[in-house]
Structure 1
């Protein structure tokens, strides 16, 4: 074992808003911290405490910016403002934030050599950084300024990424050292990237980001055949299947046994805490009970079913798959136009 992994840097941490055990598997020398809200049940809190060094309760913050969120067709992203509270973790001198839908493929402790705000360019608009992975320095002053900026200016996309790009508005031009290589925040889907480059450089990826609608928990996993299958009729990108399988293998090996153990040691029905489902997406692996299934996606912000991305919608229209009787009916389209014009 390399001696560099025999110690822990106690004043630095990876921070997330969801269950992500891939960092632990790659022997990071930094702490692991997770922010959770009151939506997380005691069962899931126990599991998270077994995975993370620090489980931190925070209040949910929602932008409530329905107009800008409608442009993305992602109304659920308003609660990503909760992420801003990572700047309150002043017990750490430097942190790396990672979204819940990221998968770490190797040790990435070198990210702590970077300064605030270091991030990779967004594949949709490279002069903006993608806020799924970024290096920052906790500071109550910065947190206060972020809240003030949010109140005065809002976010151009209604979520945390628009806000952070406006706040750190010199990222694109001031210091190239704050531009992380794309391999630290690689979109798992070629739909979001330059396909030849994905095929050429993808093997060097260090952190994969499941952007868009193809989240691992929206798939079914068969532990016997170690394969994933789609839950919808819309085909998913084939080139990300290996990443999806890896995510499920880590989840099945590290998280699912803890959930099942807790399930087996629960008391009577009157003592058992009912895990809220709300609009959460259910996931099945072929051997889970319903309550365990509901626990899978109960993270610090309640994950809701993904709306199809704009790219998915466009592709379905081009292929002639139009839901004339459902969401693509004339009255629904007219409502969208009316809302936009207002």
Structure 2
């Protein structure tokens, strides 16, 4: 399913007239039709397999098997036929041209919303180098990852990012976390219009929903909604208009689930407006105060419904009056 994200990401970069080459790193499990579509969008599609015994990552994997996905990502440093690259996770949508990132040096990245002294590894500027690649693998073997993934490894390796050089701190607009928007909504209202890259962090991705192209409506579980509706609609509009036709062409008569469906009767999670209707809220299961408290503590507040910024503001206004 991440291949869909990579297709949308590549198409969004092309739509905003990037002058740079596009490279997709994929695992060997990606289907032939998906590989064909990726090859139409990207200049280079490279299969990365850390289980290949000829790869130095294979030896590292034997000592740290829990970091398999991390080793796959680190392969970007082996793209030594390029002098400088910008890495982008597949769950990202580019909103405008970002070629200026190539003026930055390794390792440039934006702060992570969960711990701003760490950078988020969904977007970073780096210089391919087999020497750096080897050192990263060695670091993995010796230290592992403090969060179990690539972000922990990269922050451990580039440990002086937070303090050494402010020019390597990318503005948040280059890696706007979709789930961070609601933790500081006034800032999003002030600066969100300048966003260049939106990152769909969290378990629920855009492709977790379904989309009605005619009605321009997204359907799915309201409880899962942690992404600003405008960005979800942007993702689905691009996917349904540009990517789905290419997939249909490749799959031919073979069935595949595009996620685009015309629904005559459904609960609308997100339409063109930015709020959930009272009718939708009425259909949501009512939680007790204790259950709501538990969800808040787990980071699962109902940002689109009962716990929306507007509803919280109304409650505060009532108390203040």
Q: Does the pair score TM above 0.5? A: yes
Distance between the aligned counterparts of 2:115 and 2:233, measured in 1?
Answer: 29
Map of 1:303 onto structure 2: none
Map of 1:245 onto structure 2: 233
Does the C-alpha gap of structure 1 residues 79 and 317 become closer, same or farther in structure 2, counting only changes over 3 Å?
A: farther
Structure of greater relative contact order (alpha carbons < 8 Å, 6+ residues apart): 1
Does the C-alpha gap of structure 1 residues 42 and 316 become closer, same or farther in structure 2, counting only changes over 3 Å?
A: farther
Moved over 3 A (4+): 60-65, 190-193
Does the C-alpha gap of structure 1 residues 249 and 147 become closer, same or farther in structure 2, counting only changes over 3 Å?
A: same
Alignment partner for residue 215 of structure 2, among 221, 225, 228?
Answer: 225
1:258 aligns with 2:246: yes
1:317 Cα deviation after fit: 3.7
1:126 Cα deviation after fit: 0.5
Unaligned runs of 5+ residues in structure 2 are 51-56, 263-288, 296-321
Does the C-alpha gap of structure 1 residues 129 and 193 become closer, same or farther in structure 2, counting only changes over 3 Å?
A: farther
Question: 1:288-327, aligned counterparts within 5 Å?
Answer: 317-319=291-293
8 A Cα contact 2:204 2:224, kept in partner: no
8 A Cα contact 2:179 2:201, kept in partner: yes
Distance between the aligned counterparts of 2:44 and 2:261, measured in 1?
Answer: 31
Map of 1:18 onto structure 2: 6
CA deviations over 1:126-166 (Å, ceiling 9, x no partner): 10000000000000000010001001100000100000000
8 A Cα contact 2:244 2:258, kept in partner: no
TM-score, L = length of structure 1: 0.69
TM-score, L = length of structure 2: 0.73
8 A Cα contact 2:5 2:91, kept in partner: no
Map of 2:259 onto structure 1: 284
1:179 aligns with 2:169: yes
Deviation larger for 107-116 or 55-64: 55-64
Alignment partner for residue 93 of structure 1, among 68, 83, 87?
Answer: 83
The Cα RMSD (Å) is 2.6
8 A Cα contact 2:78 2:128, kept in partner: yes
Distance between the aligned counterparts of 1:318 and 1:242, measured in 2?
Answer: 26
1:190 Cα deviation after fit: 4.0
1:82 Cα deviation after fit: 1.2
Distance between the aligned counterparts of 1:204 and 1:103, measured in 2?
Answer: 14
8 A Cα contact 2:23 2:44, kept in partner: yes
CA deviations over 1:241-295 (Å, ceiling 9, x no partner): 110111111111221111101222x6xxxxx7x99xxxxxx762117xxxxxxxx
Distance between the aligned counterparts of 1:220 and 1:25, measured in 2?
Answer: 23
